[in-house]
């Protein structure tokens, strides 16, 4: 189940280093090839509003296995795509499939791990998600030495292997079906606000950090990549640690502290006076953001015990929704003032802290 956490971030980010090859092979512009990121993310985020609850009703084991098999088919469709239309369709189906795996895996952990150690388990899962996010560009780049299509064959093989390792959870029909109504309560709404703000103001900012590195310090793509990788590495290294912290001090309290730290560190990126300082502050923001993500997932999986998958998936939908709108929010401000843009993005951390402060104790 932990390994399943690798698949979504890896499949989502694998196209980043492949865009020039994709554009040339499929005879489109780089801007059109870049739509492969959006066509994956949008269905992934939107479907999570309902996928967790549906997966709980159909049975986690059956739903996750079906999601993996659909991911295999979609990845092979991408690998064999003769043109951009088929390729983008395959990417969209990958996003649909991942919506029925990621939240249900987290819910499955809650069934397998004692409550006192749940934060640690979620921290390990989050660490592997960060690993997948960090390794995706490397894996895609290595595959492109032979062919970009090989990258999609590789993730298809991983997904096929994971079909033999689904989480526990049988179908829950009739009166045992997980409730929808409890996903619209005030605590869930506050949690969703915090989740949206956490990605809009931190995890959704790599593009803005890359622009800052290029425009202010003249960094090329390779140097910018090195600056950005610290965020993911911090999450990979600290995830298990943050899980233990959440178990010890409580996820709500840990999330509030992390939100404040994210707010300060993201704002400081806009004022850093050199590229090493930008890299250092961004890596620290990654560490704080990792704690915030672990805390939010820990809160979500506990919020609705009768529908864990639904609660996790709704919170995740808002997280990735925040990532999707980040360019729309911050680019106009950035073109006026980088410092203002990063300060405004940092304020999302304050919004997340306020949402957690207003939420009930857990």
Structural domains of the chain ordered from first start:
4-168 (1.20.1250.20), 181-358 (1.20.1250.20)
Chain mean pLDDT for the chain: 89
Confidence at 114, pLDDT banded by 50, 70, 90: confident
> Confidence band (pLDDT; 50, 70, 90) for 3?
confident
Q: Cα–Cα distance between 235 and 241 in angstroms, integer?
A: 10
pLDDT tens digit string along 151-197? 899 999 999 999 998 888 888 887 778 888 889 999 999 999 999 99
pLDDT of 361 above 80: no
> Per the structure block, which two tokens stand in for 298?
């820990």
CA angle 339, 214, 131 (to 5 degrees): 90
Share of the chain above pLDDT 90, in %: 55
pLDDT tens, residue by residue, 256-297: 999 999 999 999 999 999 999 999 999 999 999 999 999 999
Name the pTM for this structure. Answer: 0.86
**Rounded CA separation 79/66 (Å):** 20
pLDDT of residue 118: 86
Burial 217-241 (b: 16+ CB within 10 A, else e): bebeeebbbebbbbbbbbbbbbbbb
CB-based contact 84:172 (threshold 8 Å)? no
pLDDT score at 362: 57
Instruction: For the chain, list the strands marked E by DSSP.
Output: none
pLDDT in tens, 210-242: 889 888 998 876 787 788 888 888 888 998 999
- Which range has the top average pLDDT, 23-27, 224-228, 339-343? 339-343
- How far apart CA 56 and CA 314 sit, in angstroms, is 13
């Amino acid at each position: 189940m932990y390994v399943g956490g690798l698949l979504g971030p890896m499949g989502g980010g694998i196209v980043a280093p492949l865009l020039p090859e994709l554009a040339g092979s499929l005879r489109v512009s780089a801007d059109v090839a870049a739509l492969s990121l959006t066509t994956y993310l949008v269905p992934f985020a939107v479907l999570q509003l309902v996928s967790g609850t549906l997966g709980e009703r159909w049975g986690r084991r059956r739903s996750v296995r079906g999601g993996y098999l659909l991911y295999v088919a979609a990845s092979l469709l991408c690998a064999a795509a003769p043109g951009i239309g088929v390729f983008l369709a395959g990417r969209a189906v990958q996003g649909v499939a991942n919506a029925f795996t990621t939240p249900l895996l987290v819910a499955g952990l809650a069934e397998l791990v004692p409550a006192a150690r749940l934060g640690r388990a979620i921290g390990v899962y989050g660490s592997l998600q960060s690993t997948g996010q960090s390794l995706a560009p490397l894996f895609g780049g290595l595959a492109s030495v032979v062919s970009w299509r090989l990258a999609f064959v590789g993730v298809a093989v991983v997904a096929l292997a994971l079909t033999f390792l689904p989480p526990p959870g049988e179908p829950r029909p009739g009166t045992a079906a997980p409730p929808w109504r409890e996903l619209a309560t005030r605590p869930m709404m506050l949690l969703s606000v915090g989740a949206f703000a956490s990605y809009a103001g931190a995890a959704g900012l790599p593009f803005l950090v890359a622009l800052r590195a290029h425009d202010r310090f003249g960094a090329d793509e390779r140097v910018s990549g090195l600056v950005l990788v610290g965020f993911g590495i911090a999450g990979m290294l600290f995830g298990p640690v943050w899980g233990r912290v959440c178990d010890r001090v409580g996820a709500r309290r840990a999330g509030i502290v992390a939100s404040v730290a994210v707010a300060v560190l993201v704002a400081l990126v806009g004022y850093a006076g050199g590229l090493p300082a930008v890299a250092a502050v961004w890596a620290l923001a990654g560490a704080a953001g990792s704690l915030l993500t672990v805390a939010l997932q820990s809160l979500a999986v506990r919020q609705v015990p009768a529908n864990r998958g639904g609660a996790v998936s709704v919170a995740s939908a808002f997280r990735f929704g925040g990532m999707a709108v980040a360019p729309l929010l911050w680019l106009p401000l950035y073109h006026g003032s980088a410092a203002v843009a990063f300060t405004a993005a940092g304020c999302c951390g304050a919004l997340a802290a306020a949402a957690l402060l207003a939420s009930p104790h857990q």
